[in-house]
Structure 1
Amino acid sequence: MTKIQSNHLGKPAYIYIRQSTMAQVRHHQESTERQYALKERAIDLGWKEVRVLDGDLGISGAQMAGRNDFKNLVTDVSMRKAGAVFALEASRLARNSTDWHRLLELCSFTDTLIIDEDGCYNPADFNDQLLLGLKGTMSQAELHFLRGRLQGGKLNKAKKGELRSPLPVGFIYDEEGRTVLDPDAEVRHAVTMLFEKFRETGSAYGVVHAFAKERIQFPKRAYGGAWNGKLIWGRLSESRVRGVLRNPAYAGAYVHGRYQSIKDIAPDGTFFTRVREAPRESWTVFIEGHHEGYLSLETFLKNRELLERNQTNGQIVPGPAREGHALLHGLLICRTCGRRLTVRYMGNGGIYPVYECNWQRREGLSTTSCLAIRCDLLDGPVVERLLEVVEPGQIEIALQAFEELERREETVDNQWRMKLERATYETDLSQRRYENVDPANRLVAATLERQWNNALARVEEIKKEFDAHRANRRALLTDKRKNDILSLAHDLPSLWGSPSTQDKDRKRILRLLVKDVTVERVEAKKMVLHLRWQGGACEDIPVLRPPRYCDQIRYSNEVVGRVKRLAQELRDTQIAARLNETGLLSAKGNRFTPSVVSWIRHRHHIPAPVLKLPGELTVGQIAEKFAVSPNVVYYWIERNVLSARRPDAGPYYITLDSEKERELTDRVAQSVRIHRNSDGFLNHAVRGAV
């Protein structure tokens, strides 16, 4: 111990204590006691101030993350506050070469000693540094060998299907260590109901909503601690549904290696391990038929595939059936780029859905979309073809649907009955506990009496909820509704279009029969739907896109030609009447009006009819000829002084001979009531005879 100098003794000695797991701390206390005994050794070596760092008990030394006392030790060593570091062996300080050599380098720089069970070392000395480095390497190698032996033993046992691990809810180990179904009927029924609801709804959230709607809870079994093995009932969550559906144990299979540990580096430079689920082909052990399950392996794989299709992570997957009006959402594929078509709702006031493939425009690769079309134009032909295929079995489908409704309600009723039975059992148990207690022990008796009362109240609450559920069921499954279902079976299109049928149900029916539909634009106004059924059969459905709105209100050549012919002799009012007599309608489906006829003439440059005969004069021409105002001319027409013709409430056309011209000239010259106005025209002061 000649390496210990006064400068070392003048600084505190640090005793670092660590065990890898809490189980070692509880059950292997000899190692912990030996490490605490290092404090006495430090005092014997001459240190007056000794600091014990035992905050890392139960933490692995494979890395620095989480070991706060080791971080404090490194900090104090780097600040020259430590005279020596005591540890039982190198593995107590670190089982990682990086952390170990960092500590050695700091101790060498700050002249800090390292003392273990074998001796005292000065990291500043090359020989000691070499020996300490070898000890650190052996410590890390020891961890590798230990892990290898343990993992090898576990893998060998797993290959035989004998490696035990916490079982998912619905399974337990029997006396011989075999995996069997949970003997609790309520637990088994809840698990079975989860799979049935997923088959009905097709999504994990659909299962959660179904359980919440029926107010049914789902169990989980606690492992470890005071609650070990106890069933806990609570609200079902989406993550729990996904965990059950993705667990192959429910299909009777034994699996080892479902999850992989991935090491990564945090932003602060520390290492951490995250766990992710491995793909099925990477599972280390897979034993089919290892135990009795709740469903077949084929059904389990279909459920996993459906869960993957329900994801909305940008992959080419259809996603689950939702509540939107676009019935083919998730089934349509663009023939141009091979991606799924998305849905966008458009409209100002009246909102309508549109299928479009716009990923290139969204990514800035193009300024236009591959295609965009109203949903009803594609939904209609596919639905029509679907109804044609399903039509032969309409009655059978209706009966199966009705039986399915009955079976669903019976499943929910059974779960409620078992819930009530469990609450009744707990009430009886509380009663027996209360009756067996010593009446003189009032503290215990009062507590047991309160528990009994709470159990009785719980039973009454469940009974009321069960009665309300059954009353609601009777209201839904009435005889009238049964007859309605059977009557609608004769007309499946009416059932499909019934207001009581939700779009989500229509989508689920479509997905049961249709695998996908590829949309190909053949021409500007023509598309082809390549329909692929679930069985693999394919067929093509042609679809014609409707003309643009401006084209829809554009009149045919026949109507324009007829207006052109009639406009040679008739006015707009007469033309509209003639067209209405023939039964023709305007482009918007209304009767023709003079304004519509006028617009057609304006749009197609059709001149108005020429109704003025040769030799006839207008009111303006007569007024100019006799230098009077138009009012005077109208007065003459009203008094039959002039002979005028007025076709169809239009302008007047006047016939003027030489005799009538002389007469009017004299009348104007002799009249005392007519005088010239500021415009140069003659006018009469008072309306009267001229």
Structure 2
Amino acid sequence: MSDHSKIGKTHLQRAAVVYIRQSSAAQVEHNRESTARQYALADRAVALGWARDQVIVIDQDLGLSGASAVQRSGFVQLTTEVALGHVGMVLGLEVSRLARNNADWYRLLDLCGMTDTLIGDADGLYHPGLFNDRLVLGLKGTMSEAELHILRARLDGGIRNKAARGELRRGVPIGFVWGEEEGEIRFDPDAAVVAAIRSVFERFAELGSARRVWLWFHTEGLNFPLRFNQTDEIRWTPPTYTAIHHILTNPVYAGAYCYGKTRNERYVDEQGQIRKRIRQLPQADWAVLIPEHHPGYLDWATYEANQARLDGNTRPQPHQAGGALREGTALLQGLAICGHCGRRLRTHYRGRNVTPGYHCAGKDIVDGRGVYCLSVGGVQIDEAVSEAFLEALEPAGVQAALLAAQQREADHEAALAQWQLAVERARYEAEKAERRYRAVEPENRLVARGLESEWEQRLRELDQAQVELTRRQQQRPTPLTADERHALRALGQDLKRVWVAPTTTPRDQKELLRALLEEVIIAVFRDDYRAHLTLRWRGGRLTELDVHLPRSRPATVRTDEETLALLRRLAVHHPDDVIAGILNRQGRTTAHGLPFTANLVGNTRRHWNIPRYEPPVEQPVGELLNIKQAAAALKVAPSTLHRWVNDGFVAGEQVTPGAPWQIRMSDDLARQFVEDAPEGYVVMQEATKRLGVSRQTVLQRVKRGELEAVHVCQGRRKGLRIRVIDDKPDLFSHTS
């Protein structure tokens, strides 16, 4: 920076900005010599002729990368001051401190060239407006960007090469720890942690749903290990659904080493800002996947089967079967397929959600105008499928019954083992707290009181764990005796008794059906009163069944004639949802006493062949407004307009009593509302005197159209004005 000839008076009259930046927080903490050199540039600016109060130090970007100007508020402040012409010289230790990409670097050069601002670094002073200096600065910026690329390429290449061998040490999930050898991953030495993780996979193999595994942990009152990073201590808390699902979907638990499951992407948001996001990649696009890399809690084949099972629990796509098991007695939920259009059948229940049924939703595809396929009760169909299933399962009935009893005992033993480990963990924590308390000096009462309180807390937790363990040991099921096993074998030979037993829930029946069945295709033939079923078993075998359906009984109830007549009138003017609201406001119900909905109105209308509402091609003259909108347009109160509609002064449209009033705004109606009364129109009191009749008689004549009236909207004397004709007619002959 020895070249002082480029510094002019105009430069010294402006400020000198020292820009300071380090790429990371670690560099700020450990590379302090570089930071000190950058702060020393302020003294260099004073030596070049600037006053101390003219030197501005910008150090807001310490710990931020120079690869982009995004989130670098200090660099934004620098470019703003340069663009405003407030800066005479910009000082930086080197070009890479200012920017690591040419887009930001050349933008700064252009601003400095236009505002006659110098740029200085450890090598000298440069004027971006001069060709030679701009060439040197451009080369330095290019080398800075290339340097960043080379550094990143070296680091990324080393990381990927080490990850390809399975030796890159990254965070391992709970239940694993890194070993001493390269790439060695071992089970956690804590037996309680390993047992908790194994319980997740054992319960999933039994229950088949991540949510049911989570509910099992909460039902048993078990805690789950939690650790945010490798340096944190393990904490035991009630498990969350996310933690259970993460364990079931993480391939590390299957003994696989994986790297590159995500990808960083840059995008432009709605405000035009460049943002970054992390994109989850499918398994086929992972950079590294090494099965059987280390011992796992399950093998790779079981892991893939679990993923397929979890995917099957999600809501299926159109024309696909599947979905998680739900409550309800419809056994073919998620398995039934329409035999006419191929869509997945939906379930419904009637009679207080007891009697199941299946229907195709194809008729609701295009605004309720799709093709109707089928809607059939599920009692006979479920019985036929159950009989076919039991017939296929009968050879394995005895073994299944014994396995069910063994599974019940194993479930209780698994939960009991978890509580035994919890007691051991609580005892260890209590003993550790006792050792810490006895190791403190008695004179240090402040520390002693805190350790004593912690010791007492650990002892209380140990007592609670022992009480819970004792209670669960008392609830341990008694092992089966020889006579009970003999009776169970006899029961296993009659699977139907087990199938219809009260202890066998619909969820259990659905789980058993899905173990053998992939889908059931249902085709209904109403003319023959039968349904044709095609059972597709796992493995590809097909079974066809014909099920006789009960003949339709004549309806014992029907919608009353008054409601049907009203529905016919309303269907001309309103769609189904508006009609349902009108009928409900009038207190009308369906034939079964239910409130009307849009679907029920549509079903009733189709049953009685009532045409649906079609918007008119040619609209009547005038816009149709509600009372509030019409009152605003006519500059009167809504209550006044309501009164005139009821009195008949203003024509209102109402399809049926209870329906909202509507006013059709026309020129004739607008002419009845004026600011000043026309000639010949008088107030009501004067009109009664001239006509010699009562006020009520005048109002009746106005209502019948025998007298003309207008409404004055402005002024202190608002209200009706009546036109009185000079030649008085015989009014008494027209009174009602």
Does TM-score exceed 0.5, indicating one fold? yes
* Aligned partner letter, 1:95: R
- Out of 512, 515, 518, the position equivalent to 1:515 is 518
Within 5 A, what are the aligned runs for 1:558-569? Answer: none
Which residue is 2:104 aligned to? Answer: 99
Distance 2:451 2:96 in 1: 53
Distance 1:91 1:291 in 2: 43
Distance 2:34 2:482 in 1: 77
What is the deviation of 1:526?
A: 4.4
* Aligned partner letter, 2:67: A
Classify 1:374/1:26 alpha carbon distance in 2 versus 1 (closer, same or farther; 3 Å): farther
Which residue is 2:406 aligned to? Answer: 403
Which residue is 2:223 aligned to? Answer: 217
| 2:206 counterpart of 1:200 | yes
* Aligned partner letter, 1:99: D
Normalising to structure 2: TM-score of the pair?
0.68
Classify 1:285/1:476 alpha carbon distance in 2 versus 1 (closer, same or farther; 3 Å): same
Structure 1, residues 162-209: CA drift from partner, whole Å, max 9, x if none? 111111111111222411111111111011001111112212111111
- Out of 187, 206, 218, the position equivalent to 1:181 is 187
Matched residue SS, 1:84: strand
What is the deviation of 1:410?
A: 0.5
Which residue is 1:251 aligned to? Answer: 254
Structure 1, residues 541-595: CA drift from partner, whole Å, max 9, x if none? 2334444343999xxxxxxxxxxxxxxxxxxxxxxxxxxxxxxxxxxxxxxxxxx
* Aligned partner letter, 1:218: F
| 2:157 counterpart of 1:152 | yes
Within 5 A, what are the aligned runs for 1:431-446? Answer: 431-446=434-449
Which residue is 1:639 aligned to? Answer: none
Structure 1, residues 385-416: CA drift from partner, whole Å, max 9, x if none? 11111223323212101100111111111111
Deviates more, 1:382-391 or 1:332-341: 332-341
Distance 1:87 1:549 in 2: 93
Deviates more, 1:171-180 or 1:47-56: 47-56
Distance 1:13 1:410 in 2: 76
The answer to whether the 8 A contact 2:316-2:323 is kept is: no
- Out of 436, 458, 463, the position equivalent to 2:461 is 458
Distance 1:545 1:100 in 2: 80
The answer to whether the 8 A contact 2:126-2:133 is kept is: yes
Distance 2:449 2:128 in 1: 68
- Out of 547, 550, 573, the position equivalent to 1:543 is 547
Which residue is 2:124 aligned to? Answer: 119
What is the deviation of 1:509?
A: 1.2
The answer to whether the 8 A contact 1:202-1:320 is kept is: no
The answer to whether the 8 A contact 1:189-1:415 is kept is: yes
Which residue is 2:144 aligned to? Answer: 139
The answer to whether the 8 A contact 1:63-1:271 is kept is: no
- Out of 526, 536, 539, the position equivalent to 1:532 is 536
Distance 1:438 1:173 in 2: 38
* Aligned partner letter, 1:541: L
Distance 2:49 2:372 in 1: 83
* Aligned partner letter, 1:367: G
* Aligned partner letter, 2:271: D
Matched residue SS, 1:88: coil
- Out of 328, 332, 336, the position equivalent to 1:328 is 332
Which residue is 1:583 aligned to? Answer: none
Q: What is the alpha-carbon root mean square deviation over aligned residues? A: 3.1
- Out of 325, 339, 344, the position equivalent to 1:340 is 344
Distance 1:354 1:491 in 2: 28
The answer to whether the 8 A contact 2:329-2:506 is kept is: yes
Which residue is 1:302 aligned to? Answer: 305
Deviates more, 1:113-122 or 1:188-197: 113-122
Matched residue SS, 1:373: strand
Which residue is 1:506 aligned to? Answer: 509
Classify 1:496/1:149 alpha carbon distance in 2 versus 1 (closer, same or farther; 3 Å): same
| 2:322 counterpart of 1:318 | yes
The answer to whether the 8 A contact 1:333-1:341 is kept is: yes
Which residue is 1:190 aligned to? Answer: 196
Matched residue SS, 2:267: strand
- Out of 271, 275, 280, the position equivalent to 2:274 is 271
What is the deviation of 1:230?
A: 1.7
Which residue is 1:637 aligned to? Answer: none
Which residue is 1:597 aligned to? Answer: none
Instruction: Give the total of aligned pairs.
Output: 549
Distance 2:121 2:341 in 1: 69
Deviates more, 1:83-92 or 1:185-194: 83-92
Deviates more, 1:145-154 or 1:312-321: 312-321
Distance 1:93 1:337 in 2: 66
Classify 1:15/1:473 alpha carbon distance in 2 versus 1 (closer, same or farther; 3 Å): farther
Q: Report which of the two structures shows the higher radius of gyration computed on alpha carbons.
A: 1
What is the deviation of 1:331?
A: 1.9
Classify 1:349/1:339 alpha carbon distance in 2 versus 1 (closer, same or farther; 3 Å): closer
Distance 2:105 2:325 in 1: 56
Classify 1:74/1:394 alpha carbon distance in 2 versus 1 (closer, same or farther; 3 Å): same
Deviates more, 1:404-413 or 1:372-381: 372-381
Deviates more, 1:368-377 or 1:234-243: 368-377
| 2:245 counterpart of 1:242 | yes
The answer to whether the 8 A contact 1:526-1:543 is kept is: yes
Which residue is 2:83 aligned to? Answer: 78
Distance 2:186 2:95 in 1: 46
Distance 1:84 1:522 in 2: 90
Structure 1, residues 408-427: CA drift from partner, whole Å, max 9, x if none? 11111111111110110111
Distance 1:399 1:257 in 2: 46
Distance 1:335 1:442 in 2: 81
The answer to whether the 8 A contact 2:321-2:337 is kept is: no
Matched residue SS, 1:293: coil
What is the deviation of 1:60?
A: 2.3
What is the deviation of 1:349?
A: 5.6
What is the deviation of 1:357?
A: 3.4
The percent identity for this pair of structures is 41
* Aligned partner letter, 1:325: T
Distance 2:495 2:512 in 1: 13
Structure 1, residues 492-512: CA drift from partner, whole Å, max 9, x if none? 323323333222222111111
* Aligned partner letter, 2:208: G
Matched residue SS, 1:539: strand
Which residue is 2:62 aligned to? Answer: 57
Matched residue SS, 1:550: coil
Q: Which runs of 5+ in 1 are unaligned?
A: 554-690
Structure 1, residues 131-156: CA drift from partner, whole Å, max 9, x if none? 43443333222222222221211121
What is the deviation of 1:240?
A: 1.8
What is the deviation of 1:477?
A: 10
What is the deviation of 1:479?
A: 12
Distance 1:36 1:481 in 2: 87
Q: Which runs of 5+ in 2 are unaligned?
A: 558-736
Distance 2:507 2:61 in 1: 55
Which residue is 1:387 aligned to? Answer: 390
Structure 1, residues 640-672: CA drift from partner, whole Å, max 9, x if none? xxxxxxxxxxxxxxxxxxxxxxxxxxxxxxxxx
Distance 1:106 1:337 in 2: 67
